[in-house]
Structure 1
Amino acid sequence: MGLLIYICSVALLLAAVPLGTAKEQLSSRECEDLGFTGLALCSDCNTFAEYVKDPDLVSDCLKCCSEDSDDSTSKITYSGAVLEVCMRKLVFYPEIVGFIEEEKDQFPSVKVQYVFNSPPKLMMLDDAGQHKETIRIDNWKREHVLQFLREKVKPTSAN
């Protein structure tokens, strides 16, 4: 009887762990304020960690992500994006300027929009052109923007 109670207790503990997922989850608003809204999957946070060696940022990312699934939908892609930035603040973001001036043309479905006082961010769009995710890219290097867009934006077909 004691062994049965022990087994049931362990089973209950194991069943409860995925629901609580030992990590603290933040609200979508808190995540957006931190700039992590667009990093929907935890594998994206792991990729992010390769580029950003700040454990606090990676920890925040992990508080805002969803667990990856094993099916083919685990790699979310978008039909396009809007790179939003304040034209007056561009002087502070030479990597973003370099991307806009030299690489942006590789991505016809990515538009640049100048919005007063906006930090650099990518607003990811679905097939209907609707805004789905926002990703702050203040500290991204040009090659990180390129790699992210290559992985997350579907190649455009002949329109």
Structure 2
Amino acid sequence: MLKYTILALVAVSCHHINAEFTVADCRDLGFIKTQLMCSSCDKLDDFGLETLKPHCKQCCTQDQQPAAQRTYAKAILEVCTCKFRAYPQIQAFIQSGRPSKFPNLQIKYVRGLDPIVKLLDASGKVQETLSITKWNTDTVEEFFETHLEKVGASSKNSYSVVEEVDDDDEEDYLRTNRI
């Protein structure tokens, strides 16, 4: 009888150990269960926080797909030409021949905007928006090589550049400030 009681206690404790924490439990531990991705838990080792990893793993949500495998049908790089001085690496990328490697990349000049990349699905809906203010020229190119779908050789024309057109009759002062 004692064997069965001990066995039952061990079975219940093992089940409890493998069970995920509730939202309230995770909140008490300092985690937001709905926003915590399991890939983030793996990075705790890099910061000497290995002791948090078991609790983190019980509170996390499985990543849908690894970031390295996500690809998008189209990307839009939005930037203001007046910000080129602040972001010379983005200016260098745009003015080099690198954008021509990506036919599904569109460069859009938007007044006053820091450089961002909008990633779109095949239907043209924005899936992600990323700030690229701290990226260097090589990082921008590598990102597009990794995350933009490959387009067939027949449509290897070029990227497109779209300038925002205002309905104002006055001349756009940004056009006169281009480098």
* TM-score, normalised via structure 2 length: 0.58
Is 1:156 aligned with 2:151?
Answer: yes
Aligned-partner SS, 1:91: coil
Q: Would you say the 8 A contact 1:68–1:74 is kept in 2?
A: no
Aligned-partner SS, 2:85: helix
Question: What percentage of residue pairs aligned between the two structures are identical?
Answer: 24
Residue correspondence of structure 1 range 4-153 to structure 2 within 5 A: 4-16=8-20, 24-25=31-32, 42=39, 67=63, 75-102=69-96, 103-153=98-148
**Distance in structure 1 (CA, Å) of the matches to 2:34 and 2:87:** 29
Aligned-partner SS, 2:75: strand
Residue identity in the other structure for 2:140:
V
* TM-score, normalised via structure 1 length: 0.64
**Distance in structure 2 (CA, Å) of the matches to 1:96 and 1:155:** 22
Q: How many Å apart are 1:87 and its aligned residue?
A: 1.8
Gaps of 5+ in 1: 29-39, 47-54, 56-64
CA RMSD of aligned residues (A): 3.6
Q: How many Å apart are 1:98 and its aligned residue?
A: 0.9
Q: Would you say the 8 A contact 1:81–1:125 is kept in 2?
A: yes
**Distance in structure 2 (CA, Å) of the matches to 1:135 and 1:41:** 21
Question: How many residue pairs get matched?
Answer: 128
Gaps of 5+ in 2: 48-60, 156-179
Question: Considering only CA atoms, is the larger Rg found in Structure 1 or Structure 2?
Answer: 2
Q: How many Å apart are 1:4 and its aligned residue?
A: 2.3
